[in-house]
Amino acid sequence: MPTMIKLDYAFFQHDAQARFDPETHINIGVNIDKYISSEGTNILIEGIRGSGKTHILKMINTRYLDNFVELRVLPIYLSMAEVAEFVSKEASLFRTHLYSALILKTIRTIKESNGKINLPQKSGIAGMLQKLGQLFGLTEEASFDTLINKIEDYANRLHQELLNNPSKISEMTKNVDEINASIDVKPFKVGGKASEESTYSIEYLTYKLAHLNASKFLTEFFRYLTEVLQLHHSLLLIDECSDLPVEAQIEVFRLFKLVRGGTQVSDERNFMYFMGGVYPPQATHYPSRRNGEPFDFEPGNDCSEEYLELDVQVDFYEEFFRNLLISRMKKFKPAHTSYNILDLFEDDRSFLTAAYAAHGLPRRFFEIIHQAYENLEEYISSRPSDDTKTYKIRLVDVNSAIDTIVTSNILSSNKYSKEDFTVLETIAAALRRRNKKVETEASTKENYVPINFYFSCPRSKEEKIGNLIAKGVFHNQSRTRSLKHTVAGIGGRGLVIMIDLAVSMTEGTIPTKNKALEYFRNDAKLSAKNGYEYCQTIDF
């Protein structure tokens, strides 16, 4: 019987699917260590799906917890996927859900820190504990452990009410934005009757968290927590911000705006900072007064930005994916392997084709090799029983996997409009014609002319390809490189856009598929040399 290396299904899973494992971390070009200090920063980490935003935020969360005793920074990681289930057109209802989730996540982070985050033995703590309790309407004195258990129970009950009885909470928040932020709701006694305690706590916290100024309530919670735990600051790590509907995104950026400007301890520092994971601007709704919204949020002004993209032209591109795969092999320890790429792939060509077709996206890389692995399994099942060969992932498995991933995932019809596909087809056809001509004439040319992957986009037409950029069909090279040659026919220099390498294979923009790896390794760099001198002007 033919055989192959056996890999667990979890081997192919990414951070958003599986339990996060910091041991598999490979530096993707963003230096995690520069963020691990007591000097706070507000930042958005921007990148398309699968570029590693979740991994980086979870790594930062892990590093801060590992170094808590030294840095006194409390990280709170929350994915918006955890609250997206309860997005409503009622902003106050989403606000209540978001902020109660943040309170719960904070308490759980403290409780699950393995004893690292303890109450310091310092004077004045009792008074701050009392203020923290009063913020939630808790009037009896309690120890820190008792208090956070009460707050957790308090927020948990509200959270469950939101999930199980949203109509009740909706009625309570119906006109809440017209109510004064300091609404006088009778605080409940910790030792009161259970029915009264539940009623008062739910109503009290609902009004506080649903109000338009609810973010101030939340920041007060963190201010008191900073004093009680003697923190340098707390750090909100908010992931998947752009996956929310517009109304919900506005609420997230409202919180970020307040964290930036309203949480100052002194001229030197704030008691809260944030890091958010977002998609490119084409897929993220930044509030703007120009659009009739109540405030502006401007990356670069309200926070700094980190653009996350592993450029296929960087020298360490192949090394990154090699190390990424080996680290995963060491984690899952498949039998009969020496932790070498050729333990899994038939040859280096098969591995490198998968790596380049991933176009710098770790998640897509594992999607491709997972599909290739399944292709190989299917092939082996069809082999005769007297075949005793040991098979590894072949180039044909990889090429077939790329076609499957592009067709069923990257170019899935539910992601794009008819106009998106028309633009893609126009651009792909123009690149195909040019590259076919180049290949045909190659034998008669004295100097080699490379296959081209780049085209220019006037800023006035950027909106026409915005969704294709956000979904990874095109890649905006202008974020990392500049066009040095003015291209005839466009206004100014415009934007330099690169067609995705996997898409270029499936859509036929490269002339000969079995030469794809040579084009990816060599021509992608050659056609970008001297400021993208081969960049095409395409009328779309």
Whether 176 is covered by a domain: the verdict is yes
* pLDDT at residue number 18: 63
Q: Are residues 406 and 418 in the same domain?
A: no
Q: Are residues 224 and 239 in the same domain?
A: yes
Reported pTM: 0.85
pLDDT in tens, 421-458: 999 999 999 999 999 999 888 777 778 899 999 999 98
Residue listed under structure tokens 């959270």:
159
Q: Are residues 393 and 479 in the same domain?
A: no
Mean pLDDT of the chain: 84
Looking at 383, 410, 437, the residue that finishes a domain is: 410
Whether 395 is covered by a domain: the verdict is yes
Distance (Å) of CA 439 to CA 201, 242, 454: 72, 41, 16
- Tell me how many domains the chain contains: 3
Q: What is the mean pLDDT of residues 320-326?
A: 93
Whether 527 is covered by a domain: the verdict is yes
Q: Are residues 426 and 468 in the same domain?
A: yes
Evaluate whether 401 touches 29 at the Cβ level (below 8 Å): no
Q: Are residues 367 and 501 in the same domain?
A: no
pLDDT band at 87 (very low <50, low <70, confident <90, very high): low
More confident residue, 495 or 169: 495
Q: Are residues 207 and 340 in the same domain?
A: no
Q: Is 299 a residue whose pLDDT tops 60?
A: yes
C-alpha 528, offset from chain centre: 28
Q: CB-based burial of residue 121 (10 Å sphere; 0-12 exposed, 13-18 middle, 19+ buried)?
A: exposed
What is the rounded CA–CA span in Å between residue 81 and residue 16? 10
Q: Are residues 385 and 462 in the same domain?
A: no
What is the rounded CA–CA span in Å between residue 534 and residue 456? 10
Q: Residue 56: which of 211, 262, 275, 219 has the closest Cα?
A: 275
Q: Are residues 107 and 235 in the same domain?
A: yes
What is the rounded CA–CA span in Å between residue 224 and residue 416? 47
Q: Residue 351: which of 312, 377, 390, 321 has the closest Cα?
A: 321
Whether 454 is covered by a domain: the verdict is yes
Q: Are residues 508 and 459 in the same domain?
A: yes
Looking at 410, 431, 459, the residue that finishes a domain is: 410
Least-confidence region, from 23-27, 250-254, 300-304: 23-27
Q: Are residues 185 and 105 in the same domain?
A: yes
Domain ranges, residue 359: 3-9+317-410
Looking at 372, 391, 410, the residue that finishes a domain is: 410
In the chain, the percentage of residues whose pLDDT exceeds 70 is 83
Whether 22 is covered by a domain: the verdict is no
Evaluate whether 349 touches 17 at the Cβ level (below 8 Å): no
Whether 381 is covered by a domain: the verdict is yes
Q: Are residues 398 and 282 in the same domain?
A: no
497's torsion region: left (phi>0), alpha (psi -120 to 50) or beta?
beta
Evaluate whether 49 touches 363 at the Cβ level (below 8 Å): yes
C-alpha 348, offset from chain centre: 30
Whether 312 is covered by a domain: the verdict is no
Whether 81 is covered by a domain: the verdict is yes
Q: Are residues 393 and 482 in the same domain?
A: no
